[in-house]
Structure 1
């Protein structure tokens, strides 16, 4: 197996474990269990557990930000509609019974207040995601796209966390009704 494939195997396996069980609750031994991966091999690719998690946040961000724009554009052809569709896209994951929430938010919360690669990777994801929303707001012709994007991301992240905590997609409906008023007022 090539180095790239072995590294990807570790990423794929660890991603699922951390997403399902949390970051502090999932130790390196659990990551290696049933995979044939030794500690030596794991640390060959990642200097620490935090470096592995940071890499996983990057993986999450790349995956989410590759799929989301395609799905959102499929749901609505115009930027204003795409802002609304972002909420529909994420709600659909909860509708399917996946209440995992946002990988980057979860990691950031577990590592809150520490200067780690986890926080740096989380902040990079949040910045990239915010820039994506800013571009939708700018393309939609809103007066202050930066301010609006900040408001949209607060509503979006709030809906994600509330849905995860309540194990219900209903918070997305509440967030979308507020979003509709916000978008109308921002023109």
Structure 2
């Protein structure tokens, strides 16, 4: 069962400060390394305020992941708008968007993958949220592959998601040196195999 988190528009100024502080700290240091005391102090609020707004540390982590994902999705939609016609260009635009996002918001790889690495139980709200986010990207890739007329769009979307997430991980580790161009070239080759 997933915990409910406040919608962005309904956040109080204190809740917004908490979420911003948590986002910086969780992404930079990891979930387990950052306690609610640290987040509350960074946000300039009491622990009681944090718990009143987010219910638990896990609720705050889910809110952090949802907030980051919401901003990523908006970034990706803008990138796709630059390629209005269906085709391989729109499929590859997903990789360009990820590269731009990583340059502006990243440095430590994918926040969702990093969070999932710290959660053992696939039924925990954090793990469920990460799976939802990755499913969304995979479904988008399948939709774009289908619109481009590529063969076996579901199978192709699976492979493209692995390239996408591998590039995000590579951006966090620094190996390979240029993960997004490498992933984009591999994605183009896969699209060619599937009929582009």
Same fold (TM over 0.5): yes
**Which residue does 2:94 correspond to in 1?**
86
* Compared CA separation, residues 91 and 34, structure 1 to 2 (3 A): closer
8 Å contact from structure 2 (residues 112, 130) kept in 1: yes
8 Å contact from structure 2 (residues 75, 101) kept in 1: no
Q: Where in structure 2 are there 5+ consecutive unaligned residues?
A: 1-9
Q: Where in structure 1 are there 5+ consecutive unaligned residues?
A: none
8 Å contact from structure 1 (residues 100, 164) kept in 2: yes
What CA distance in whole angstroms lies between the structure 1 residues aligned with 2:112 and 2:103?
20
**Which residue does 1:52 correspond to in 2?**
60
What CA distance in whole angstroms lies between the structure 2 residues aligned with 1:47 and 1:86?
34
Q: How does 1:131-146 map to 2 (within 5 A)?
A: 131-146=139-154
8 Å contact from structure 1 (residues 79, 137) kept in 2: yes
What CA distance in whole angstroms lies between the structure 2 residues aligned with 1:111 and 1:3?
26
TM-score after normalising by structure 1: 0.89
The number of aligned residues is 186
SS at match of 2:135: helix
TM-score after normalising by structure 2: 0.85
SS at match of 1:33: helix
Is 1:6 paired with 2:14?
yes
What does the per-residue CA deviation read over 1:46-90, in whole Å, with 9 as the maximum and x for residues that have no partner?
222111111111111111111112123326744310211221222
Farther-moved stretch of structure 1 (143-152 vs 77-86): 77-86
* Compared CA separation, residues 96 and 63, structure 1 to 2 (3 A): closer
Is 1:40 paired with 2:53?
no
